[in-house]
Structures are given as structure tokens and as C-alpha cells.
Amino acid sequence: MKFSELDGRSVALWGLGRETRALRGQLEARLPGARIVAVVDDETPAERTRAALARADVLVRSPGVSIYKPLIHEARTGGLPVVTATGLWLAERGGQRVIGVTGTKGKSTTATILAHLLREAGVPVELAGNIGRPVIELLDLDPDTWVVLELSSYQIADLEVGPEVALLTNLSREHTDWHGSEERYRADKLRLFELRGVRAAVRPLGDRGGWQPVVAPEQIPLRGAHNAQNVAAAVAAIRAAGLPLAKLPEALQGLEGLPHRLQTVHVDEHGVEWVDDSISTTPASAVAAVAAFPGRQLVLIAGGADRVQDYGPLAQTLAARAEPTWLVVLPDTGQEIAVAAAVGGFAAARMSTAGDMREATRLARGLAAPGAVILLSPAAPSFNAYRDFEERGDHFAALALRA
């Protein structure tokens, strides 16, 4: 379904996240014949929701609202079209001149690198989706302008039209609460390559990433060897799109990292570096963060909302470090991380338990020797204690400044 096909229809919204709020603004400005007949959320009683959906010609959901919720599944099987604002935009554009970027980790950074390299090559480009602006705001975009569109599994799960070029950075266990199982999460991610309109599919050879670096890690102005693979993925997508590639590594100069992704927020008078990696919501991203500090004493703060993850690889990474390493764990997954660390051979004497972020930063400061790194890389979502990972990272940064 295209955005323009909403004209004259009755529209129900499930959730008022950033994307659906942007859609509502576009409807009011462009399609006066479209009527928003209901706005519901998870707190709306089931019978009220059913009645609202019965009056609607189409349901537009916020991406965070799972298509596997019983009432949405019931609506879909009953014939009610269920879409996202991203899906409406992609269908309107026919996926043309769009590079879709997805993956369990690295998709935001890779999308940022992609857009940066295209600008450096003189290609008109917009960055949108999970990162940047909601793509529904680009309805008036010049058809010759490319769009780098970051796509989550939440958005891919019911897309009808895909991007011209689809890029997968990597794939590992994540979001089983939304999808219902790891198998369904993987299937929903990979369906991006099966959609109408996809001309080129670019993906690594293995789930953990099989990109071959095209520039040395030390030539990239982003911390961590994993970013060399992110650059390689971006280059592969540019080549698949048939677009010019700016000269490397010179074109990478001026590239800035994302907020809350290995972001140094404070260096104290003892040379202790406080690093905010709050965007790390998986063990795999925490492994990459830990690996970004070779030769440095490290205090890792980890733990958050439970999403049924395997912390074994993170435990093995911590146990294998040659440098002095400590672990401070937070609720709710902290004890699970600590158990995995102990099983992996990490010494119990190097682990501490904190009740909240304030206590975690206090403990971490007491453990950190001059020149050490205190790294918040939770390997878990934030929703048990914070509104989102941004709020968690901001709280960490504020505490670091007062430590």
C-alpha cells in the first residue's frame, strides 16, 4: 500500500511513536480526505481496540508494536491491511534509489558511513529511518536523490516493497520478545531480500560478519576494529548500487561517531576515560566494545532489561583479556552475566553487583586505576530502568562528570 492510497480512507493508528507522529502530520498536510478514526495502544482495552479496528480501512502501527500481538494478528488474518509509515513511503517511491541497511548490530553506524561516503563522492543523499528523520517526511524528495534507510526487523516484518539495494551487516540473536522466537526474528530480517523491488542484495558470508576491511582500523576516525567491517559493508553497498566511491581513506576524515556508541563523555584528572556505549543492547555489541580498548585496563558496566540473550561470548571475551579487567553488573540481567562470566573463567573477585547506575559508577571509579577505561556497554536494553538507551547514557555521562 502507498501513502497516497490512504486518501479517502479511515485510518487507525496503533502507538504514537516518532514515525506515526510524523505520519499523522503528513496526513493532515497532504491527504485531507484521510480520516484518523482511532488511536490505540497496548493499554487500550481489547474490545475497544477491536471496535476501533472494525471502523478502519487500514491500520498503521508504530514499529515497536509487534505484528504478532494477538489483536493485530487477528486483524491481519481478517483482511485489514497493517502497515508502517516506512512501508507506505517505500511503496510510494517504489524502492527506487534507496539503500536499505539492516542487521543485528552496526546498522546505524554503517548507514552513517554510507551516507557520509556518498556525500564525499558528490552523490545527493538523505539519511533516514531509525537514524535521522522519519522517512515519511521525504515524500517530496527529488527522485534523483538517494536515501540511505536504516531498517529494523520491526519495520521489515510486514514490508511489501523493498529498497533497490538491501544490506545486511550481520545477524545474531535479538528481539525474541517482539518476534516470539529467534527463528522468526531471523526470518523477518532476511525477508528484506525477498521483497519486490530489491535489485541487489549485499550480506556477509556468516552470521558474525564476513566483510573484508578495505582500510586499516587505525585509518578510521571511529573507535574499534569492528568499524573497519562497517566501512567494508558500506563500500560493498555503494558498489552494488553502481555509485561512485570517494577516495579512501581520505573520504573518512570528518566522519563522526554516533551518540552513545563508544562515546567518550569524560576524562578525569587521573586520566580515567569514561565511555558511553549505552546503545549496546546485545552481547555481540558489547564484545565489539570491549575489543575496542586493547592494552587498557577496563571496568565494564553491563546489565539491563532481559531479552533472553546468550552471554557466553561476552564472558569468554572478558576472561581472555590480558589486561586487568573488572565487571560491574546491573539489574535485571546482571546476575545472568555474572554467572556466564564465572562459567567462562572470569574471576569472581573481579566482579561487583550494583543496584543502580549511581552505585555502578561509584564502584567502577573505585576499581579504575589511572589511565583506565570505565565502559558502559550494557549488552541489554534499558527499559527496566530508563525510557530508552539515550536516557541511560545521559545518566551515565552525568554521573561520570561528578565522579
Residue pLDDT, tens place only, 79-123: 999 999 999 999 999 999 999 999 998 999 999 999 999 999 999
Which residues, at least 6 apart from 200, have a Cβ–Cβ distance to it below 8 Å? 164, 165, 166, 240, 241
Cβ neighbours of 67 (radius 10 Å): 17
Same domain, 36 and 154: no
Same domain, 192 and 212: yes
Same domain, 212 and 116: yes
Same domain, 92 and 206: yes
Q: Which three-class secondary structure state does DSSP give residue 312?
A: helix
Same domain, 215 and 328: no
| Closest to 84 (Cα-Cα) out of 107, 61, 68, 106 | 61
Measured distance CA(132)–CA(316) in Å, rounded? 35
Q: How far is CA 10 from CA 47, 55, 89, in A?
A: 19, 7, 18
Residue 280 maps to a domain = yes
Are 40 and 12 a contacting pair, CB within 8 Å?
yes
Residue 367 maps to a domain = yes
Same domain, 72 and 96: no
Provide the domain count of the chain. 3
Domain holding 60, by residue range, is 3-83
**Which CATH number characterizes residue 212's domain?**
3.40.1190.10
**Which CATH number characterizes residue 275's domain?**
3.90.190.20
pLDDT of residue 227: 93
Measured distance CA(292)–CA(224) in Å, rounded? 4
Measured distance CA(77)–CA(69) in Å, rounded? 12
Same domain, 303 and 341: yes
Q: How many helices (H) and strands (E) would you count in the chain?
A: 14, 15
pLDDT digits (tens, 9 = 90+) for 65-89: 999 999 999 999 999 999 999 999 9
pTM, whole model, 2 decimals?
0.92
Measured distance CA(373)–CA(298) in Å, rounded? 5
Q: Compute mean pLDDT per 10 residues along the chain, 403 residues long, and list them.
A: 98 96 97 96 96 97 97 96 98 98 94 98 96 94 98 97 97 90 96 96 70 89 92 96 97 93 97 97 94 97 95 96 97 98 96 98 98 98 96 98 92
Residue 311 maps to a domain = yes
Residue 257 maps to a domain = no
Same domain, 128 and 74: no
Same domain, 61 and 149: no
